Amino acid sequence: MSAVFELLKTDSVTAARRGRLRTRHGVVETPIFMPVGTQGTVKSVTPVQLREIGAQIILGNTYHLNLRPGSELVRELGGLHRFMGWDGPILTDSGGFQVFSLAKLRDIRSDGIAFSSHLDGAKLFLGPKEVMAIQANLGSDIAMVIDECPPWPCTREECRAAVDRSYRWAGQCKQIAVDNGFLAAGHLVFAIAQGSTFDDLRREAAESLAALDFPGYAVGGVSVGEPEPEMLKQVGATTPFMPAHKPRYTMGLGTPPQLLKMIALGVDMFDCVLPSRVARNGLVFTPDGPMNLRNERYRTDPKPIVEGLANYTANFSRAYLRHLTLAGEILGCTLLTLHNLHFYLDLMAQARAHLEAGDYGSWHRACVERYEAGAAARLAG
């Protein structure tokens, strides 16, 4: 079995790749950033606005959508695409990250994960059978297997158990997707390689999952508290052992420079709540690092956030956007989220263009240097 993924070009200096992934709801050009719509919405923005800033694919979350409104209701109302009014591809996380983020509310068993709902304490069990049924109800274009995301730091024994359990569950998820026709109907299933900070376990996880021939693969268990150099090391220890002809996805991160560095390590797909989450607090991204619009220096600033980044937010001054943020106006959340998501999506479009031009290596290094220098200067000043 192979996904409809076409590797169009590889960089001659780095491991960066230019690709194209075909799904039931459209083509995804990679490298790509995927806005996060955990509960069936990318917070404060509409599907039309997402399309206008170049979003190709968005995320939903199995754990959260099954709690409310319930995957069966979503199925009865036509699936997640119709339910939320988004006609493009949707990837749904399986809930494995909640093993980490809701550690106090779950119990890991050999057959899956028992949760107490963070909403009302109700009991919820997610195993291979359950997560595949939920994602089938949602109509996911890309369904993620259930896995165990170990914390950082963790012992080798704890990581070993998580890798073994995740491998077993992945195989069960794929078999369910074969048996119920999910794969045959054109849906895709991605496996997730764990391994924490243990390079040999990372390689083992990637190679063993590759042998199961999934349509795509993800690097899991990163950005869970470890320093950035360690995070990048983990990604670099995993991607070389993933199939070159399949899409590679790093889950749940990161900053603009981190995305560019991971593209150089051979990653094709990313998601992160960061651009939308920090927008709600007045933080916006620029080529010269993040900008906190709450600062007094922007009170009378007539310029847009970034000159030349054409989106609806560019119609408004930094001064006005600062005012909305300080006043707690909902419009501020919308405008700043639009800007931040567009900044990420535009960065990916630039990465694709430079991969096609053959100069990704030098371009991405210059971008990272400019961003980090600007961030340091703003912090100092």
Determine if residue 225 is left, alpha or beta; phi over 0 gives left, psi from -120 to 50 gives alpha, anything else beta: left
Q: Which residues contact residue 368 at a Cβ distance below 8 angstroms, ignoring those fewer than 6 apart?
A: 257, 260, 261
Cα gap 27→6, rounded to integer Å = 11
Supply the DSSP symbol for 187. -
Nearest to 337 by CA among 283, 261, 267, 262: 283
Cα gap 202→237, rounded to integer Å = 6
Residue type, 102: L
Q: Which residues contact residue 108 at a Cβ distance below 8 angstroms, ignoring those fewer than 6 apart?
A: 99, 148, 165
Active site residues: 93, 271
Supply the DSSP symbol for 83. H
Nearest to 125 by CA among 111, 134, 115, 117: 115
Sign of the torsion angle spanned by Cα atoms 36, 39, 41, 44 = negative
Cα torsion at 71, 75, 77, 80 (round to 10°)? 70
**Residue 64 contacts residue 38 (beta carbons within 8 Å):** yes
- Reduced to 3 states (helix: H, G, I; strand: E, B; else coil), residue 160 is helix
